[in-house]
Homo-oligomer: A and B are copies of this chain.
Amino acid sequence: MFEAAEVGDKVSKEAFKAEIPKLRTALLEAQRALAKGDFSLIVLIGGVEGAGKTEFANRVLEWLDGRGLEVHAWGEPTDEERERPFFWRFWRILPGKGKAAFMLNSWYTDPIVGRVYKKSDDAELDQQLDRIVDFEKMLAGENVLLVKLWFHLSKKGQKKRLRELEKDPDNRWRVTAMDWKFHKKYDRFRKVCEHALMKTNTTHAPWNVIEASDRRHRDQTGTKVLLEALQKRIKQGKIAVERSPDLPKPKPKNIIRRLDMGLKLGPKEYDAQIERLQGRLGLLSRRLRDEGRSMILAFEGPDAAGKGGVIRRITQSMDARLYRLMSVAAPTDEEKIRPYLWRFWRALPRVGRFTIYDRSWYGRVLVERVEGFAAAEEWRRAYGEINAFEEQLAGAGTIIRKFWIALSSDEQLRRFKDRQKTPYKQYKITEEDWRNRAKWDAYEAAACDMVERTSTEHAPWVLVEGNDKLWARVKVLKTVVEALEKGLS
């Protein structure tokens, strides 16, 4: 992969000078089109130490309009980052549509460095690279243009560059002991990088390996690659996706219909059980922190299924400072201009905390599918994206349980009518609820697909017979308590 970047490509001073004004103008034009476009740009700059990633970034930034543009580089993770999945720090800075981010290190840095220093083995590296491929595919699908540049220097070239920098009083500080230490591991580094680049060199996010021994060649080529990628994307224009309602039909004996909706609890039994469960939950909830764990509970189900009531039985049991309730409503404009999972990554709990989602990212494959807010290709790939998301959460120590509170159609009708009659419940019933009800079958079928495709060992779906509220509350609490008992040592 790197041989082609060791051929000694150079650009003369004159050629460079002649080229630059044209490049600048074109680049600025492309940036202005980006600002008005419906995609965002991430320029990922990787490569060998000493190849001039920062130098290149500074030059291109000088040529661009600074507005709507950020440069990122990450050092040691902060404690807020450490308490969340690896990708959280990158989600935090995802640029919105029309904006650009330059990254001087990235999701490649830790996997590569970890392997070079033998903190991980080949299998672990490959697993990390698989996650990267998934992540970049999601970005591409969600209208983030990712341009990946890799600046290469041969071993000799790196040594020469580091020596050069050391001799220059203005740039001496750029060379640290770390760089020389790294230089000694050049061959190993190269091998790991070659493997990483090969595995992540995908159609939707290809690598551009650029010879960096001549600065002018590096900057001109890097800029051209960026420019061409931008121009190509701009030409595509608004990527037309067809969004139309998808109204799947439920199978006759699906998992929801097989639920025994007659299950119920008497008030006395309920009182006895709920009190005991709440007590246990209270105790368990305070142990999360010490064990470096967090918990996510997601609730879905038809309108009036009693999600709110269930959630209150949980929140009542614990210290209010331990949980955050996220009720999913319409996204804000900052959320709308980013991949749809962004708003959920934003709200991830720290260690020791619960985040309870009253409706969740599953909206993508439920309401967005049925109502046609998401295109078929969008909600179809969402199953995989969601599984990858939850796998990362679980890997970072988050205990996850997802609840589908089921309800029979008759019982929903009864509750709707009851809500209309009770003054302080009236706000709970809207036109939209009636409209959703008309699509009962499609929602049920979509829910079955969802459970089938996203119930995993680390993030299982729990179907709850919700016709009897008391039964439902006890079942959910029991599940939460058991999940905690199983998850905590």
Contacts and interface: CB of A to CB of B under 8 A. Distances in A.
Given A278-B170, A319-B54, A333-B332, A358 B423 contact: no
A70 B320 contact: no
Interface in A271-310: 275, 278-279, 282-283, 286, 308
Contacts of A28: 424, 427
A321 interface: yes
Contacts of A69: 325, 327
Interface stretch (A58-66, A364-372, A459-467): A58-66
A419 interface: no
A285 to B, nearest CB: 9
A61 B320 contact: yes
Interface string A217-256: 0000000000000000000000000000000000000000
A242 B427 CA distance: 34
A320 B52 CA distance: 11
Nearest to A28: B424
Interface in A404-433: 423-424, 427-428
A324 B73 CA distance: 10
A424 B21 contact: yes
Contacts of A173: 282-283, 286
Contact of A324 (B71, B315, B427, B428): B71
Contacts of A24: 424
A25 B422 CA distance: 10
Contacts of A54: 319-321
Given A21-B424, A67-B329, A79-B79, A321 B72 contact: yes
Contacts of A169: 279
A147 interface: no
A334 interface: yes
A154 to B, nearest CB: 25
A71 B174 CA distance: 46
Nearest to A356: B66
A153 interface: no
Residue of A66, A282, A311, A332 with most chain B CB atoms under a 10 A cut-off:
A66
A424 B24 CA distance: 7
A32 interface: yes
Contact of A66 (B57, B170, B278, B358): B358
Nearest to A21: B424
A104 B321 contact: yes
A29 to B, nearest CB: 8
A80 B278 CA distance: 34
A321 B69 CA distance: 13
A119 interface: no
B102 A68 contact: no
Contacts of A489: none
Interface string A27-39: 0100010000000
A12 interface: no
Interface string A319-352: 1110111010100111000000000000000100
B358 A325 contact: no
Contacts of A327: 66-69
A312 interface: yes
Residue of A174, A278, A315, A424 with most chain B CB atoms under a 10 A cut-off:
A424
- What 4 A-B pairs have minimum CB-CB distances, sorted nearest first? A73-B321, A67-B327, A25-B424, A170-B279
18 contacts: A24-B424, A58-B316, A61-B312, A61-B320, A65-B308, A66-B358, A67-B327, A67-B329, A69-B327, A73-B319, A78-B79, A78-B350, A104-B320, A104-B321, A169-B279, A332-B332, A333-B334, A334-B334
Interface of A: 21, 24-25, 28, 32, 54, 57-58, 61-62, 65-75, 78-80, 102, 104, 169-170, 173-174, 275, 278-279, 282-283, 286, 308, 311-312, 315-316, 319-321, 323-325, 327, 329, 332-334, 350, 358, 423-424, 427-428
